[in-house]
Amino acid sequence: MALEHIEKIKCKDCSCEFDVTVYESVNGAFDDEAQKKLLSGELFTHTCPECGCVVALSYPMLYHDMDKKFMIHLCPDGENVDECIKNIKDAQKKIDKQFPEKRMEKPYKMRIVSNENSMREKITIFENGLDDRIIELLKLFFASRLQATNKDAAISDILFFVGHRGEYAFQIMLANGENLVSEVPKHFYTLFTEQYMAKCELASRDNFIIDADFAILVLNGK
């Protein structure tokens, strides 16, 4: 079940105070409502009942999917990472205790992300049975390919998504506000998996943060 509590926040426009639900943890297998809100972005945005102004509130939250076996901890702006790691490990211990028969099954994927977009992205990746380490490598490859053809392209972020036809794609956000979409051929994913999986396994041992820096580490052959 979702662990939640009510907090008061202040509207930045009219200064009225109102109650919002803050989720400490969301279980993807049971909390349909909270999961939907998370994926649509509603979980961290709140509408002032007085003036209709939308207030964003980001907070640490643990997302847990028992079916697909992953946990993602949102750790806003990368603060208190150690505390988030402890939370994740504690949650894992609790599950091991609760379901000892599942302990021998495939290990959990445990991740820490610094913003909501990354959280949604990781959920999409894992829900689709994909590996986020390979996706980060592909991002790096697509980014360098884009920069090779367009030297002025300053990339501010790249997010993976699965399109309506089930195709893999990157949404590439440029610093000038432009948005590009680039489809990722599925055989690229297969190729990268074949070529880099062993290196990924090595580099991701005890590593909860799988991002661009991780991809650079893998490609540098460490």
Minimum gap (Å) between residue 9 Cβ and Zn ion: 10
- Rounded-to-integer distance, Cα 170 and Cα 14, Å: 38
Minimum gap (Å) between residue 160 Cβ and Zn ion: 35
- Rounded-to-integer distance, Cα 16 and Cα 146, Å: 46
Sheet holding 155-162, edge to edge: 155-162, 168-174, 179-184
Per-residue interface string for the shown chain with Zn ion, residues 35-54, x marking contact by CB under 5 A: -------------x-xx-x-
Minimum gap (Å) between residue 12 Cβ and Zn ion: 8
- Rounded-to-integer distance, Cα 161 and Cα 118, Å: 11
Minimum gap (Å) between residue 37 Cβ and Zn ion: 20
Q: Rank residues 11 and 158 by Cβ distance to Zn ion and give the closer one.
A: 11
Minimum gap (Å) between residue 202 Cβ and Zn ion: 51
Alpha helices in 103-152 (DSSP H): 116-127, 132-149
- Rounded-to-integer distance, Cα 179 and Cα 77, Å: 23
The tokens for 200 are: 């990924």
Q: Long-range pairs for 175-182 at CB < 8 Å and ≥24 separation?
A: 180/146, 182/142, 182/146
- Rounded-to-integer distance, Cα 161 and Cα 176, Å: 21
Per-residue interface string for the shown chain with Zn ion, residues 2-31, x marking contact by CB under 5 A: ---------x-xx-----------------
The residues of the shown chain that bind Zn ion, judged by CB under 5 A, are: 11, 13-14, 48, 50-51, 53
